[in-house]
């Protein structure tokens, strides 16, 4: 996230995306990890440390996450990986000028309680736990329609939609321009489905 006109443009686009999410009623952004925030799939067994993994964080998500943290949006990482400490350290390295400790991380670990009554489908337990933390620790109530899941797995997105959440497909070549275009074009209508990858 170096300086220059390109960096300034990326920051402005990220802020525009965040503003559009907020005006569309989104209050909690749930981000997948593998092949979403990062371009690779770690399979939950990355052994080369956070510094090397930080190089795989998508540039558009560096700026987007920083913009989210500068706003009133709540942010969480929802992943099937069990390497939550690695994710935390990687984000801290990749986005050094933001307080990444504010990001709620829900991986397949035993350090958070599963939510009774929520099916073990897709990322629903992860999202439900993040919502509970926002309620209990930040004293804000999040409704299903105020959550957006960004993921590369269409099945997870379809499941999220059945629970009333918004869904945003992250394609392999996601760049800031396409990211902004999709949010601006589809989110206001609240009609984007997991099968819509354009």
Q: How confident is the model at residue 6 (pLDDT cuts 50, 70, 90)?
A: confident
Q: How confident is the model at residue 185 (pLDDT cuts 50, 70, 90)?
A: confident
Q: How confident is the model at residue 196 (pLDDT cuts 50, 70, 90)?
A: very low
Contact criterion met (CB below 8 Å) for 112 and 129: yes
What is the domain partition of the chain in residue ranges? 5-189
User: In this predicted structure, what is the pLDDT of residue 1?
Assistant: 52
Mean pLDDT value of segment 159-183? 95
- Order of strands across the sheet with 28-31? 104-106, 74-78, 28-31, 147-151, 166-169
Mean pLDDT value of segment 49-78? 98
Say if residue 59's pLDDT is above 50.
Answer: yes
Question: Percent of the chain having pLDDT more than 70?
Answer: 92
- What distance in Å separates the CA atoms of residue 149 and residue 6, rounded to the nearest whole number? 27
Mean pLDDT value of segment 83-109? 98
User: In this predicted structure, what is the pLDDT of residue 117?
Assistant: 95
User: In this predicted structure, what is the pLDDT of residue 197?
Assistant: 44
Mean pLDDT value of segment 23-48? 97
User: In this predicted structure, what is the pLDDT of residue 187?
Assistant: 78
Mean pLDDT value of segment 26-35? 98
Homologous superfamily of domain range 5-189: HAD superfamily/HAD-like (3.40.50.1000)
- What distance in Å separates the CA atoms of residue 108 and residue 94, rounded to the nearest whole number? 22
Handedness of CA 82, 85, 86, 87 (dihedral sign): positive
Contact criterion met (CB below 8 Å) for 80 and 108: yes
Contact criterion met (CB below 8 Å) for 83 and 33: no
- What distance in Å separates the CA atoms of residue 95 and residue 194, rounded to the nearest whole number? 28
Q: How confident is the model at residue 186 (pLDDT cuts 50, 70, 90)?
A: confident
Say if residue 189's pLDDT is above 60.
Answer: no
Q: How confident is the model at residue 5 (pLDDT cuts 50, 70, 90)?
A: low
- What distance in Å separates the CA atoms of residue 198 and residue 188, rounded to the nearest whole number? 15
Mean pLDDT value of segment 105-134? 97
């Amino acid at each position: 996230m170096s300086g220059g006109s390109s960096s300034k443009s990326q920051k402005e686009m990220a802020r525009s995306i965040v503003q559009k999410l907020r005006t569309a009623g989104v209050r909690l952004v749930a981000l997948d990890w593998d092949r979403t925030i990062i371009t690779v799939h770690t399979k939950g067994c990355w052994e080369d440390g956070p510094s090397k993994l930080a190089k795989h964080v998508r540039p558009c998500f560096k700026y987007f996450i920083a913009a989210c943290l500068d706003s009133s949006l709540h942010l969480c990482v929802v992943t099937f990986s069990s390497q939550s400490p690695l994710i935390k350290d990687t984000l801290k390295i990749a986005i050094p000028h933001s307080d990444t400790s504010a990001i709620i991380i829900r991986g397949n670990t035993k350090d958070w309680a599963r939510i009774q009554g929520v099916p073990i489908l897709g990322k629903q337990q992860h999202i439900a736990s993040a919502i509970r933390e926002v309620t209990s620790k930040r004293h804000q109530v999040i409704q299903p329609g105020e959550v957006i899941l960004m993921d590369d797995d269409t099945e997870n997105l379809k499941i999220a939609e059945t629970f009333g959440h918004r869904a945003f497909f992250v394609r392999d070549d996601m760049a800031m321009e396409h990211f902004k275009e999709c949010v601006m074009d589809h989110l206001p209508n609240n009609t984007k489905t997991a099968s819509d990858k354009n």
